[in-house]
Amino acid sequence: MTSALPAERTRRFPIVLFVAVALIAAIVLDTTGSGRASTTGTARPFASVAASIPPADARSSAWYCAAGSAAPGGNGDETVFVTNVASHIVRADVIVMGDANTTVPRRVDVPGLTRVAVHVADVVATPNPGVVVESIGGPVVVEHEIRNGVSIAMGPCARQAASTWYLPAGTTVKGAQQWLSLFDPFPDDAIVDVTFLTDTGPQAPQALQGLVVPRHTKVNVSVHDNVPRQGIVAAQVHTRIGRVVAEQSLFFDGSNGRFGMTLASGAPATAVDWYLPAGVVVGGTDSLVVANPGDSQATVVVDVVLDGEAKLTPQSVPVPDHSVVSIDLMSRVPANTGFWVRAHSDKPVVAAQSVFTATASATVTASPVLSRRWAFASARSSVPSTDVIVAANPAPRPVTLRVDAILSGATPPIIGDQSVSIPPGARALVNLSERNVPAGAGVLVTTDEPVAVERVDSNPQTMSAALGIPGAS
Amino acid sequence: MSSEHPTADGAALLAPTGPVEPVPVPPPVVAVVVTHDPGPWLEETLSSLTASDYPSLAIFVLDAGSAEDPTPRVAAVAPHAFVRRLSENVGFAAAANEALDSVEGATFLLLCHDDVMVEPSAIRVLVEEAYRSNAGIVGPKLVGYDNPEVLLEVGLLVDRFGVPFSGVEPGELDQEQHDTVRDVFYVSSAAMLVRADLFNELGGFDPATSPDGEDLDLCWRALLVGARVMVAPDARVRHRATVGSRAERNGRDATAVRRRARHRVRSVLKSYSLLNLAWIVPLALVFSIGEAIVYLVSARPAHARAALGAWWWNFRHIPDVVRARRAVQATRTVADSDVRLLQLHGSAQLRRITAGHGSAEDAIRSLGETSRNVVGAARSGMRQPLTVGVLVFLFLVIIGSRSFITKTVPAIGSFLPWPGVGGLTRAYGDAWRPVGLGSAAPAPPAFAAMAGLGAVLLGATSMARTLMIVAALPVGAWGAARLARRFTPWPVATFAAGAAYAVNPVARNDLGTGRLGPLVLYALAPFIVSSLIGLAGPQRDRRMFVRSMLRAAVLVAVVTAFLPVALAFPLLVAASFVLAAPLAGGARVAMRTMAAALAACVGAVVLLVPWSLSQLATPDASAWGMVLHLHLGLSDVLRFHTGPAGAGWAGWGLLAAAALALLVATGERAMWAARAWMLALFGFAAVWVPSRFATGTRVPPPEAALVLAAIGLSLAVGIAVTAFSHDLRTFHFGWRQLASVVGAVGLALPLLGFLADTTHGSWRAPSGDWGQTLSWTSDQSSGDSRLLIVGDPRALPGDPLVARGIGYVTFDNAVVDARSLWRPAPGPTKLIGAQLVLAGRDRTNRIGHLLAPMGVRYIALVDGPAPGQRSMAAPPGLHDTLDAQLDLRRLRTDGSYGLYENTAWLPIRANVPADPSSLRSTDAVGAGLAADFAGARPLTGAPAVPGAALLSTAYDARWHASAGGRALPHLRTFGWANGWAVTAPARVRLHFAGQLARDVQLLVQLLVWAALVAVWWRTRRRRAGRTTVVVAPEPELAEPVLT
């Protein structure tokens, strides 16, 4: 018997061929392309830093200022600086939350490109204020200044609450008070666990586990009472429920040779790269504090970049798990030589700078991000001081730097020729005091490549340093 | 015996005259023949009596008011018979009772109709049996008058409610299978031998139970006095059954049906003891109600009325019933428990009705015989593997759906709970749909279908929902088998096609993810394809063509109602045939299929007017049930692995089995195999191509598009099996034979996945749902509010919208039910998505304020289709986004989802003491940020304060508000909502003025459906045979032969 008639064979062949070709073609196309559907979802830029410049088209934004006081006798009389980085007027509500029953708003209209200062105690006198600054209709940047006698510390408020905070540069040596300000600006309570990494090992005081931070309330944690007499105390805050804002302030009474007051914002996340642009200390100590909250040892390469031609070999520092180390930067830096620091770790860590002079102290949480745009709500501190903007360029190419004041509805350039070139790996300093930048101005720094920018305010009695507020270009 | 001759008038006393010799004579029997306007068979009846071999027989004719005196006719045939004429037609029973007075000395009375033919030995046999068994009443075997080989009755039983049973099927031939002398409950009055003294004692028949009930009543009373009622089958009597026409007996005469029911109930009320009546009557009432419902559903309203009217009639005649009852109970000597031995258990009526035998009295069938026949058929069927296969499949479906059946179907996806029939009806009929932020678009006809199904199940909408969901799989499989029958009559092949469709993961994925629309498409798609193929063939009968066309249109309409995008399904089927034409031929069939598909689609649109027109007018793809495409690799698509169900690598088996059709089929089978494969390729392409080349576009749900492929493969499998049987032998042994083995194994492989999924009990659907978990948020004490559920669109219940990958859906007062399905074009509801995106992009930290004008009080952020499930994580960063909002209070949960309360929430109906003009805004997205809602309160029956009355629904000029009898000025608030200026304290009433237009739309739709029913009815005359594609083995046929 013959097989299928020729007519059948002819009819079958095109069908089978078509099906086969279609399937083969589909297989080929499927393997050559991903074709994966993009799910945009939501992505918050600069999520790894506490503060960032809100988007220009933001309907509303909020800033949270945790540290500070608004009552006579409180540690750190607080003033909030609100600077409108848009050209149109923005409505800002400065809301002072004393506790769940004390929430006092003060509405402020901030003209375009203008800074407004609000003394918190003028809104409501409360010893433990948490301040929320909300802007409606435009972006603002917010910093706060804490004053304790002659000491002043100024730094940005946070623009996000987080479930985790790292504050590495603390100490509870004799004469030092380390305060942790935990602020819950939300309408529901938060429950947190506060642990510490010290130079003698991790500590988790029982009293600070399951600590309730009530809604619309700030809780001050006296670290020095819970972890006394530790040379280095790196605080970690983890929330079980809710989110908080964390800041750290240190007060030195001089009994251990340290004076002054510091203010540092927390880092909401660990990172492998950290930048500290402003390293210059005359007659003091400048340390890089690295905390490793992870479960395995981290090796941190600390690159101290000197001003000028001199070079230092990067230093590799092991940081054991659940520990904190302090690296003396001055031991390798020639006298009177400025520098900046970049640290690269093989595991996520948190870095900060701790500076002590004979009369003043400052702590700065390093920046894990680089940006082409940085803002400062206040160019100058409220006391006469030398205020310097320092920009470090880690890129292998030169960067053009522009520094403008935000003042009275305009952005006059601070640098005469309107731009400065920063060589690769170098940094640039802009002395705002010498350039007579008014105290009521904000500062806007723009570059053509991502850089890190810091502000240092100092006078013989006090010192303050803080990284700028990065923003999308 | 009297020697009197028959006289035309007066009564003849049949009393012996003169002394009687004591000679042994058989006991005298008087045959009492009741007649009224007798037909021509009277002579035959009388002749049969005269021809009886019983020696002591007298004939007594009782004429009940005939128009013409039958005496001459009687005299001509039975000259020794006696005739008594009554002046009127008093009925059979009353007429027969005349024998009580007219006959003396008879031992037995043979009561009979005037249309019987008694066999010569019948009377003798009856008498002998009466003596042998000491019976009070003996009945013969009744056979057909003209067809004596056909049995009519051989004694009858009843159930506890008096419904009779016979051991005889209609048309059953007499093969002596019932020839057993036995006790029965009653015998027919067509011919019954009654002891004269018993008849006297009982007072004769009860005229009130005549006709059609006097025999049951008499025998029941006889039993109660201790008499035996028996049947002696050796006595044969032919019966024409003209007392009560054949139409009456067949139950088509409503009067006869009513009568029988009444008389039966009367007998029940008379005969039972009071104690037994106490439970018999309520139970009988319940059964009567059930009987009536079944009759109504099966379009026999007269029977339904009779079932219930019987009780009412007896209630109206209760004094007479009581009197009769007293007489019966006074003479009874036997307990009901003894009589019960002759009764059957249960309700014979309902059983007979469900077995399709209609009224009890017209198609009497023994329950025992029925059961025996059913079991016998089942046994013989069970010996067939295919029947076993079907039963196993049904069993597996039940096992796989056991959680759905025993607990509930979870409210996932579109498996949302159905409200009651009233709720569905209102949802369908109301002019305003409160879905999302509301819309005046016509409600989907699916609500009407759901309401109808719920009504059929007596309001059990939950059961209706479960039924629809669980039955989809077997219905689809049956449809696929039925479709395959167009191409092969071989049961194995049709079974294989149905099995291939059944084990396809498509339906199980629908069940596991809650896709109601695709599931309905799965169930009905084979029928649609079958209709299209039938319409594409040559039409010999215009009526059948019209009916087929209507059927196709209705099927497409039903599917479209549940899945709007399915309107394109017939076109895709036809397009696949058109594309296959250059390869496989049959261009004319393909074009006719396309024409039929177009017509079906147009018909469906017409049937679904006005909803269909509003759908066609909306450009929003999501309103059509289209979804944003998720990435599916080719491998997943080809194995139908779009959800939790599947068979892993074994899923390739279906393709292998279907490929056999291409490799082995010849002739017409090869052509249809090509079409089947083209259908499959269309289905695969509809899912994979957008996934590969057009990500981010809206496409039909993958499970719906893959139904095309499932049908194509199923059809190919059926053809493959047929080809295996018919065509393979035409080839030399070679790779085709091996391929056949592979194909056979391939068909079995997907079964593994099917079996695995049955173990879950709910087809891998989660056990909980968000509706139950979040129902507590429906607290309305502070005003109406909306629940907003956010997350991966696939995880959300109902019909979510999507904004940059974020799915969101709202439910008014947290009522998560089916009324939120098939939402119209989203309109301002899209603003919610825009606000979520705004928050996600760090453009706001006050999303609560933004959502406040929408009445959103609670926001649930989910990571899976049910609590505790994290299989579908929310878009990245969404948790952080909502946590960062200053006006959202995070509530405690079990940790598997986030729940927030909006502290800035505004009730849906609110009264705000603010300047209404301040609530106008051109910025619809951000209007809530700038608005001042201080002092807002719900709009209730209390007087509203001056300010604004707000209604958080999409602006529509037909919304009106009035206060104190005056209309309030209408405003567009927040750029999209309704508001009114309230100038003085007064109670504010809101109403929507579009109901009249909606009522007109409903009327139009009703008329359309009425027209369809009318056309269907008019074309119902005859039922042509199924069109079957006879795929002849001869290769020279270019077109399929449709017979």
Give the list of residues 6+ apart from residue B23 with CB closer than 8 angstroms, or none: none
Nearest Cβ partner for A54 among B580, B842, B930: B842
Position A29 scores a pLDDT of: 87
Angle B367-382/B385-400 helices, nearest 10 degrees? Answer: 100
Fill in the amino acid letter for A12: R
| Among B861, B887, B886, CA closest to B875 | B861
Write out chain A residues lying below 8 Å of B839, CB-based: 42
Interface subset of A 223-282, CB within 8 angstroms of B: 241-243
Write out chain A residues lying below 8 Å of B684, CB-based: 26
Nearest Cβ partner for B691 among A35, A160, A215: A35
DSSP B14: B
- CA distance linking residue A169 with residue A349, whole number of Å: 13
A54 min Cα distance to partner chain B (Å): 7
Q: What share of chain B is helix, strand, coil (3-state, %, to 5)?
A: 50, 15, 35
**By the 8 A CB rule, do A156 and A238 touch?**
no
Residue A147's beta-bridge partner residues? Answer: A77, A152
DSSP B186: B
Which has the higher per-residue pLDDT, A76 or B604?
A: B604
Write out chain A residues lying below 8 Å of B842, CB-based: 44-45, 54-55, 58, 61
Please, what's the b/e burial string for B54-77 (b: 16 or more CB within 10 A of its CB; e: otherwise)? bebbbbbbbbbebeeebbebbbeb
Peptide bond between residue B907 and the one before it cis (omega within 30 degrees of 0) = no
- Residue A187: count other Cβ atoms within 10 Å of its Cβ: 19
B890/A186 touch (CB, cutoff 8 Å), yes or no:
yes
Give me the residue label for tokens 């049937």: B607
B1008 min Cα distance to partner chain A (Å): 43
Q: Does the structure show a pLDDT above 80 at A189?
A: yes
Q: How is residue B415 written in tokens?
A: 């498996």
Q: How many residues are listed for chain B in this entry?
A: 1043
- CA distance linking residue B442 with residue B615, whole number of Å: 9
Kindly provide the ipTM of the predicted complex, given to two decimals: 0.90
- CA distance linking residue B221 with residue B65, whole number of Å: 28
Nearest Cβ partner for B677 among A3, A19, A45: A19
Q: How is residue B912 written in tokens?
A: 């705000």
Position B825 scores a pLDDT of: 87
Position B96 scores a pLDDT of: 93
Q: Reduced to 3 states, what is the DSSP secondary structure of residue B245? A: coil
Per-domain residue ranges of chain A: 60-156, 164-471
Nearest Cβ partner for B630 among A12, A37, A188: A37
* Mutation target among B579, B583, B655, B863 for the A interface, most CBs of A within 10 A: B583
Per-domain residue ranges of chain B: 413-432+440-758, 785-827+834-902, 909-992
* Per-residue pLDDT reduced to its tens digit, B444-456: 999 999 999 999 9
B715 min Cα distance to partner chain A (Å): 16
Write out chain B residues lying below 8 Å of A161, CB-based: 883-884
- CA distance linking residue B99 with residue B104, whole number of Å: 9
- CA distance linking residue B656 with residue B716, whole number of Å: 10
Write out chain B residues lying below 8 Å of A136, CB-based: 929-930
- CA distance linking residue B565 with residue B561, whole number of Å: 9
Q: How is residue A101 written in tokens?
A: 């029953």
- CA distance linking residue A211 with residue A226, whole number of Å: 13
B628 min Cα distance to partner chain A (Å): 9
Instruction: Give the Å distances, CA to CA, from B139 to B154, B688, B934.
Output: 8, 77, 93
* Mutation target among A59, A61, A135 for the B interface, most CBs of B within 10 A: A59
**By the 8 A CB rule, do A358 and A259 touch?**
yes
Sheet holding B959-963, edge to edge: B966-967, B959-963, B988-992
Q: Which fold has domain B909-992?
A: Immunoglobulin-like (2.60.40)
- CA distance linking residue A182 with residue B767, whole number of Å: 41
A8 Cβ under 8 Å from any chain B Cβ: yes
Please, what's the b/e burial string for B348-378 (b: 16 or more CB within 10 A of its CB; e: otherwise)? bbbbbbeeebbbbbbbbbbbebbeeeeeeee
| Among B151, B142, B136, CA closest to B118 | B142
- CA distance linking residue B957 with residue B975, whole number of Å: 14
- How many Cα atoms are found within 13 Å in the side-chain-facing hemisphere of B103? 33
A276 min Cα distance to partner chain B (Å): 27
Nearest Cβ partner for A160 among B585, B663, B884: B884
Position A74 scores a pLDDT of: 64
Nearest Cβ partner for A15 among B583, B693, B846: B583
Give the list of residues 6+ apart from residue B528 with CB closer than 8 angstroms, or none: B552, B555, B556, B559, B569, B570, B573, B600
Position B630 scores a pLDDT of: 67
Interface subset of A 130-169, CB within 8 angstroms of B: 132, 134, 136, 160-161, 163
- CA distance linking residue A142 with residue A158, whole number of Å: 8
A33/B692 touch (CB, cutoff 8 Å), yes or no:
yes
Nearest Cβ partner for A3 among B638, B732, B926: B732
**Which portions of chain B are predicted below pLDDT 50?**
1-16, 243-250, 356-371, 375, 382-383, 1023-1043
C-alpha R_g of chain A:
26
Q: How many residues are listed for chain A in this entry?
A: 473
- CA distance linking residue B392 with residue B385, whole number of Å: 10
Position B497 scores a pLDDT of: 93
Chain B residue with the nearest C-alpha to that of A20 = B659
A67 min Cα distance to partner chain B (Å): 19
Place A278 in a pLDDT band, splitting at 50, 70 and 90.
confident
**By the 8 A CB rule, do B552 and B596 touch?**
yes
- CA distance linking residue A373 with residue A403, whole number of Å: 10
Nearest Cβ partner for A5 among B684, B732, B1035: B1035
Interface subset of A 171-210, CB within 8 angstroms of B: 185-188
Q: How is residue B814 written in tokens?
A: 């947290």
Write out chain A residues lying below 8 Å of B666, CB-based: 4-5, 8, 12
**By the 8 A CB rule, do B836 and B806 touch?**
yes
A26/B634 touch (CB, cutoff 8 Å), yes or no:
yes
Give me the residue label for tokens 């092969």: B488
Nearest Cβ partner for A42 among B840, B886, B892: B840
A186/B695 touch (CB, cutoff 8 Å), yes or no:
no
A8/B693 touch (CB, cutoff 8 Å), yes or no:
no
* Per-residue pLDDT reduced to its tens digit, B561-615: 999 999 999 999 999 999 888 887 788 888 999 999 999 999 999 999 999 998 8
A238 min Cα distance to partner chain B (Å): 15
Chain A residue with the nearest C-alpha to that of B877 = A42
Position B20 scores a pLDDT of: 56
Position A52 scores a pLDDT of: 94
Q: What is the mean pLDDT of residues A308-337?
A: 90
Write out chain B residues lying below 8 Å of A41, CB-based: 804-806, 840, 874-878
B861 min Cα distance to partner chain A (Å): 13
Q: How is residue B395 written in tokens?
A: 């069993």
Position B240 scores a pLDDT of: 87
- CA distance linking residue A273 with residue A48, whole number of Å: 12
| Among A419, A469, A410, A420, CA closest to A440 | A410
Position A292 scores a pLDDT of: 96
Place A160 in a pLDDT band, splitting at 50, 70 and 90.
very high
A186/B886 touch (CB, cutoff 8 Å), yes or no:
yes
Nearest Cβ partner for A15 among B674, B684, B727: B674
Position B997 scores a pLDDT of: 92
Place A38 in a pLDDT band, splitting at 50, 70 and 90.
very low
Position B360 scores a pLDDT of: 40
**Domain A60-156 is found in CATH 2.60.290.11:** yes
